[in-house]
Amino acid sequence: MGRLEGKIALITGISGGQGRAAALAFAREGAKVVGCDLKAEAAQETAEMVRGEGGEMTSIAPVDLSDEQEATRWVEDAAAVYGGIDVLYNNAALARIGTLAGMSTDAWHYTLKYELDILFFVTRAAWPHLVKRGGGSIINTGSIIAGRGSDMPMAAHGAGKAGVIGLTKHMALEGGNSGIRANCISPGLICNEMFEQLLKDPNDNLYKQIRTSPLGRIGQPEDVAGLAVFLASDESSYITGTNIVIDGGQTLGIGMSFGQEPAPLFAQPVDLPEAEGEKLTIETLDGESEAWLFTPREEKGPWPGVMIYTDIMGVRPLFKSMAQRLADAGFAVLLPNLFYRLGPPLDPPLSVKNSGEFGELLGMAGTLSKDTIVRDSGAWLAALAARPEVKADPLSCVGYCMSGPMAIWTAAAHPGKVGAVAVFHGGHMVMKGDDSPHLAFKDCAARFYFGCAETDAFMTGDHIATLKESLEQAGRPHEVEVYPGTYHGFAIADASYSREGSEKHWEAMIDFLS
């Protein structure tokens, strides 16, 4: 007889990770499971996995639990499937990261909506069903970030999860007379699909986080599922109102690191020309923007004009050298300061390889959007086209990493001015929502080249397939190439650099833009 035999369990967020692991674990212990998720297909896969092992599970999806009526309806429908509720596992959550100072009100509300509101809506609706069954177990999902800092900017996420832990205690206080127990699980670093991709890159900052655990590994969803089974079972009948941390000991030390830090795996970059360029001041709709113009040192113009966008680390000596190398191939190259609203480029620049600085860079990146790029790019393109060194032909735009989407948005906003777009290890080009870059191809008149890393958590194989499909549907000339043996950032010497991949990117870009 299983530890959860005869119990009916509701689990939110079952499309993968901890929710999927919990559904499988609960069913193996005899529970009948009803789950939900925004992702209907993946949620159904979980239900089929449970049934494939001989368990009982029903998936009701898609469900947006941030909608009060949808959440209430899901609980009522779920309770009707097997005739009640004994266990409620509030696992689902979504969050936005970013600095407090740089976070939009929408991002703040989004995080609290999907970390606190959904828990409130679902628990309130489930409460009378738990009372009717003589009590039951509520399991909430907190996080260690609720009570500690991080090198990543997680103010909203920390506040949301702190709220979950606080609310759990009040659930326990109010539910005791009805036999309702409420407890919270606060995981540390637990593997998910994104982490699996990141861990394929030996240079990724995630390894620094892993070394904060004396166990020396990342947690697995099954590690959390085992604790959830215990809290759902009668074995924990005298435990309520507590928050249990499951983090491999990450929160034991202050600034401690376990295990030896591996030597950097960066290849020696190819020497690039030292360059400063001609500094320009360009008037945009939102103020004055710095930019630098680079032209061939050995030839006379005019030359085709190219605008190059930096990665998240912004304008720095390396990117000026990259702009000069491109210019020496026969182009007039404009390098704008994407972050001009925050001031001049940082000197020294921040690095993605410093986890603390990476958090600050993410906050800076959060100040950029499709709207800001559309507002700025018109002025930058006009300034480039007005230069006597630039041919009257349509201009080109190049993007790296985070600026890949920006290059696409620029082409879509100015189809008569941008004739070619090249993007290298671009990220977040296929997203949910109307602003996703892959939906903008229909508004472009440019031809496209995409050089993708073989291993890239921000541009997976599925993303690449969707990108190609969107380009074909839009009828845009294009080439999408995957660079073998490379990681996100392969073209840039102070990122996850690949000498072979970077040199290939130079050849491909110059050939494409010529």
**Backbone φ and ψ of 244, nearest 5°:** -110, 120
pLDDT 10s digits, 118-151? 999 999 999 999 999 999 999 999 999 888 776 6
pLDDT 10s digits, 374-427? 999 999 999 999 999 999 889 999 999 999 999 999 999 999 999 999 999 999
Asked, for residue 197, whether it belongs to a domain, the answer is no
How many structural domains comprise the chain?
2
The whole-number pLDDT of residue 109 equals 95
Asked, for residue 452, whether it belongs to a domain, the answer is yes
Asked, for residue 266, whether it belongs to a domain, the answer is no
List the single range of 126-130, 153-157, 241-245, 441-445 with lowest mean pLDDT: 153-157
Asked, for residue 195, whether it belongs to a domain, the answer is no
Angle between helices 317-328 and 499-513 (to 10 degrees): 50
Asked, for residue 343, whether it belongs to a domain, the answer is yes
In this structure, the answer to whether residues 178 and 108 fall within a common structural domain is yes
Going by DSSP bridges, is the β-strand pair 395-400/332-336 parallel, antiparallel, or unpaired? unpaired
**Alpha helix (H) ranges present in 113-192?**
118-132, 155-175
In this structure, the answer to whether residues 227 and 331 fall within a common structural domain is no
**Backbone φ and ψ of 63, nearest 5°:** -135, 130
Structural domain boundaries, residue 310: 278-513
Rounded CA-CA distance 367/403 in Å is 13
List the single range of 41-45, 339-343, 432-436 with lowest mean pLDDT: 432-436
In this structure, the answer to whether residues 375 and 233 fall within a common structural domain is no
In this structure, the answer to whether residues 335 and 412 fall within a common structural domain is yes
In this structure, the answer to whether residues 230 and 302 fall within a common structural domain is no
Q: Is the pLDDT of residue 37 over 60?
A: yes
Q: Name the percent of the chain lying above pLDDT 90.
A: 74
Asked, for residue 272, whether it belongs to a domain, the answer is no
- Rounded to two decimals, the pTM is 0.79
Rounded CA-CA distance 360/480 in Å is 32
Asked, for residue 126, whether it belongs to a domain, the answer is yes
Rounded CA-CA distance 69/63 in Å is 10
pLDDT 10s digits, 315-325? 999 999 999 99
CATH code, domain with 330? 3.40.50.1820
Per-residue DSSP letter, 107: H
Residues 425-438, mean pLDDT to the nearest whole number: 91
Asked, for residue 368, whether it belongs to a domain, the answer is yes
In this structure, the answer to whether residues 144 and 69 fall within a common structural domain is yes
Q: Is the pLDDT of residue 260 over 80?
A: no
The whole-number pLDDT of residue 261 equals 58
In this structure, the answer to whether residues 240 and 294 fall within a common structural domain is no
CATH code, domain with 48? 3.40.50.720
Residues 277-296, mean pLDDT to the nearest whole number: 96
Q: For residue 62, is the peptide bond before it cis, meaning its omega torsion is within 30 degrees of 0?
A: yes
Dihedral sign (CA 403, 195, 92, 77): positive
Domain stops at, among 227, 246, 265: 246
In this structure, the answer to whether residues 19 and 91 fall within a common structural domain is yes
User: What is the three-class DSSP state of 500?
Assistant: helix
List Cα–Cα distances, 491 to 98, 257, 296, 459, in angstroms: 26, 30, 21, 15
List the single range of 111-125, 139-153, 193-207, 274-288 with lowest mean pLDDT: 193-207
Residues 27-46, mean pLDDT to the nearest whole number: 97
The full DSSP string for 184-248 is EEEE-SB--HHHHHHTTSTT-THHHHHTTSTT-S-B-HHHHHHHHHHHHSGGGTT--S-EEEEST
Residue 265: pLDDT band (50, 70, 90) is very low
Rounded CA-CA distance 496/487 in Å is 6
In this structure, the answer to whether residues 445 and 370 fall within a common structural domain is yes
Listed in order, strand segments (DSSP E) in 247-400 are 278-284, 287-294, 305-308, 332-336, 395-400
In this structure, the answer to whether residues 237 and 294 fall within a common structural domain is no
The whole-number pLDDT of residue 29 equals 98
pLDDT 10s digits, 437-472? 999 999 999 999 999 999 888 898 999 999 999 999
In this structure, the answer to whether residues 147 and 44 fall within a common structural domain is yes
Residues 106-123, mean pLDDT to the nearest whole number: 95
In this structure, the answer to whether residues 479 and 375 fall within a common structural domain is yes
